[in-house]
């Protein structure tokens, strides 16, 4: 029932009707983006944020500014971003900073599972920047703030949110391009439906 409601809401948005009345609060809008069950998100949220930390730390010493454009990370990121944005934004913001902070100690051991070599590189970094907000936290939280600033305007919501999902890194990955393309296709489909309906309505009235 929740998902079908969201689906209908998404269809309404796709019709580009600017007159969505009661549901136009930013938090509910952002949760329309991915119509999935909410309960699964909450459970895995902590683990996903831990995983974000793992990947950011993993690549921190290699290339600070980029996620690799291909390989295993993009799909990883895909899940994380979608899940993140599926939640109401305020709540996501409230949850994630403490999640980011409290996971600093555990990844030391978790990192060793990924690669023993990197662990030695990162241990000194941990020691230095444990208490203060490390680059990783600021990286992630700047992504958060960028996403938080995203949803407010209701018009063109889909395209606006898809732009905000780009992390501070300017290059669009394949995932974001696919998402933009999907949104454009949906808008085009909505226009096509509107055209068809306009034709039939005219025929009725004539």
Partner 1 sequence: MSRDPLVVGNVVGDVLDPFIKSAAMRVIYNNKELTNGSELKPSAITNQPRVEIRGRNARTLYTLVMVDPDSPSPSNPTKREYLHWLVTDIPETTNASYGNEIVSYESPRPTAGIHRLVFILFRQSVSQTIYAPGWRQNFNTRDFAAVYNLGDPVAAVFFNCQRENGCGGRRYNK
The site for partner 1 (CB under 8 A) is made up of: 15-18, 184, 187-188, 191, 194-195, 197-199, 201-202, 204-206
In the bound state with partner 1, the residue whose beta carbon lies nearer, of 115 and 197, is 197
Report d(CA 185, CA 14) in Å as an integer: 10
Tell the smallest beta-carbon distance from residue 172 to partner 1 (Å).
Answer: 8
3-state secondary structure of 49: helix
CB closer to partner 1, 125 vs 187: 187
The structure tokens listed for 83 are 């899940």
The rounded distance, in Å, linking the Cα atoms of 85 and 161 is 9
Cβ neighbours for 187, distance < 8 A, ≥ 6 positions apart? 14, 16, 158, 159
At closest approach, how far in Å is the CB of 184 from partner 1? 6
Helix (H, G, I), strand (E, B) or coil at 150: coil
Rank residues 18 and 90 by Cβ distance to partner 1 and give the closer one. Answer: 18
Tokens 């909410």 map to which residue?
38
For 26, what's the count of Cα atoms within 13 Å in the CB-facing half-sphere? 12
For residues 151 and 160, what is the distance between their CA atoms, to the nearest angstrom? 7
Nearer to partner 1, 106 or 168 (CB): 168
Q: Using the minimum distance from each CB to partner 1, give the nearer residue, 62 or 184.
A: 184
In 3D, which of 138, 137, 130, 156 has the Cα closest to residue 18? 156
CB of 162 to partner 1, least distance (A): 12
Please provide residue 103's backbone torsions phi and psi, each rounded to the nearest 5 degrees.
-95, 5
In the complex, minimum distance from the CB of residue 92 to partner 1, in angstroms, rounded to a whole number:
27
Question: Least distance from C-beta 176 to partner 1, angstroms?
Answer: 11
In the bound state with partner 1, the residue whose beta carbon lies nearer, of 96 and 162, is 162
Nearest approach, Cβ of 156 to partner 1 (angstroms)? Answer: 11
CA dihedral angle for residue 196, residue 197, residue 199, residue 203, rounded to 10 degrees? 140
């Amino acid at each position: 029932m929740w998902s079908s409601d969201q689906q209908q809401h998404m269809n309404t948005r796709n019709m580009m009707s600017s007159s969505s009345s009661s549901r136009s609060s930013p938090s509910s809008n952002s949760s329309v983006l991915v119509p999935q069950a909410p309960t699964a998100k909450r459970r895995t949220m902590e683990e996903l944020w831990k995983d974000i930390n793992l990947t950011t730390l993993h690549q921190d010493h290699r290339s600070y500014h980029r996620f690799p454009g291909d390989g295993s990370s993009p799909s990883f990121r895909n899940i994380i971003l979608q899940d993140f944005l599926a939640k109401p934004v305020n709540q996501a913001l409230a949850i994630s900073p403490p999640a980011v902070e409290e996971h600093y100690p555990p990844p030391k051991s978790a990192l060793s599972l990924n690669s023993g070599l990197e662990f030695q590189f990162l241990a000194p970094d941990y020691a230095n920047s444990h208490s203060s907000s490390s680059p990783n936290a600021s990286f992630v939280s700047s992504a958060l703030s960028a996403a938080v600033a995203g949803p407010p305007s209701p018009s063109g919501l889909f395209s606006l949110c898809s732009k905000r999902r780009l992390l501070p890194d300017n290059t669009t990955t394949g995932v974001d391009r696919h998402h933009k393309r999907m949104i454009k296709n949906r808008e085009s489909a909505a226009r096509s439906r509107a055209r068809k309906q306009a034709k039939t309505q005219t025929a009725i009235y004539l």
